[in-house]
């Protein structure tokens, strides 16, 4: 990173990198296939860790929560070395080859999460016997929303010099996105075993979701409890 910052990325050779690191050129190429790869060494490992989070998810966790935990593995990788991440970000903005590589990495996470959500939305929809529900569409949209929120928080943190608790900022961002867009998630498919009515207060608003066959008295009691007037 020091070499790239002082000499420029394009003009720095692998020989110079190897010499500065005190290793042979062959050693460099045992670890990395290219200069680009030396800049982004961790995406393969991070994908494996994100996949592991998905694989180990508790069976009744909301699949969107699982995916949010999955992408936190990416954030942790950046947060582990703020200075290095900021330097790499600056470089990435200047070198088109690195930017393309980064776009490709983002696409890999999106595909991983889309596949996961697809499997899990699908399962739920089948269990509830709901048809006309477009799982592939919703899985891709949800995965892209999670990845976009993550990238937004990451970019803001990198631009501000990598200062502050970016993982907490990510949790906060997910909470805002879920509060804003997530309300109706699954609303068109009431899961069996869920209560007939639920109510949730958010600031000055009360959102109630009820089965259309729920007794009115039960809906009312739920609302009164949520408003603290029951």
Chain positions contacting a copy of itself, by CB under 8 A: 100, 103, 130, 133-134, 136-138, 140-142, 144-145, 148-149, 152-153, 173, 176-177, 179-190, 201-214, 216, 219-220, 223-224, 227, 229
Nearer to a copy of itself, 87 or 210 (CB): 210
Nearer to a copy of itself, 30 or 229 (CB): 229
Closest to a copy of itself by CB, 84 vs 195, is: 195
Closer residue to a copy of itself (CB): 59 or 132: 132
Written as six digits, the tokens of 124 are 């739920």
Residue 180 CB, shortest distance to a copy of itself, in Å, is 6
Give the other-Cβ count within 10 Å of 83's Cβ: 10
Instruction: Specify the 3-state DSSP secondary structure of 203.
Output: coil
Six-digit token string for 44 = 């393969």
Helix axes 96-128, 43-55, angle to 10 degrees: 10
Q: How far is the CB of 102 from a copy of itself (least distance, A)?
A: 12
Q: How far is the CB of 16 from a copy of itself (least distance, A)?
A: 28
**Minimal distance in Å, beta carbon 45 to a copy of itself?**
25
- 87 vs 138, beta carbon nearer a copy of itself: 138
Length of the chain equals: 230
- Compute the distance between CA of residue 5 and CA of residue 21 in angstroms, rounded to an integer: 15
The answer to whether 124 and 142 have CB atoms below 8 angstroms apart is no
Q: Residue 34 contacts by C-beta under 8 Å, 6 or more apart in sequence? A: none
What tokens were used for 16? 């110079």
CB of 140 to a copy of itself, least distance (A): 5
């Amino acid at each position: 990173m020091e070499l790239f910052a002082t000499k420029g990325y394009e003009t720095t050779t692998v020989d110079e990198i190897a010499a500065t690191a005190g290793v042979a050129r062959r050693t460099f190429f045992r670890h990395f296939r290219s200069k680009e790869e030396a800049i982004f060494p961790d995406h393969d490992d991070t994908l494996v860790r994100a996949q592991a989070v998905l694989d180990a998810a508790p069976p009744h966790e909301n699949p969107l929560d699982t995916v949010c935990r999955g992408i936190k593995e990416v954030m942790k990788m950046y947060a582990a070395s703020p200075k290095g991440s900021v330097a790499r970000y600056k470089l990435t903005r200047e070198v088109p080859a690195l930017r393309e590589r980064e776009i490709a990495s983002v696409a890999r996470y999106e595909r991983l999460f889309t596949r996961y959500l697809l499997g899990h939305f699908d399962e739920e929809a089948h269990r509830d016997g709901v048809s006309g529900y477009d799982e592939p569409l919703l899985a891709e949209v949800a995965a892209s929303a999670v990845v976009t929120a993550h990238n937004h928080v990451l970019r803001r943190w990198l631009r501000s010099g990598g200062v502050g608790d970016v993982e907490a900022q990510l949790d906060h961002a997910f909470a805002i996105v879920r509060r804003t867009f997530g309300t109706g998630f699954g609303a068109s498919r009431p899961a069996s075993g869920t209560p007939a009515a639920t109510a949730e207060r958010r600031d000055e608003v009360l959102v109630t979701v009820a089965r259309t066959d729920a007794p009115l008295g039960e809906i009312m009691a739920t609302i009164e409890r949520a408003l603290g007037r029951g």
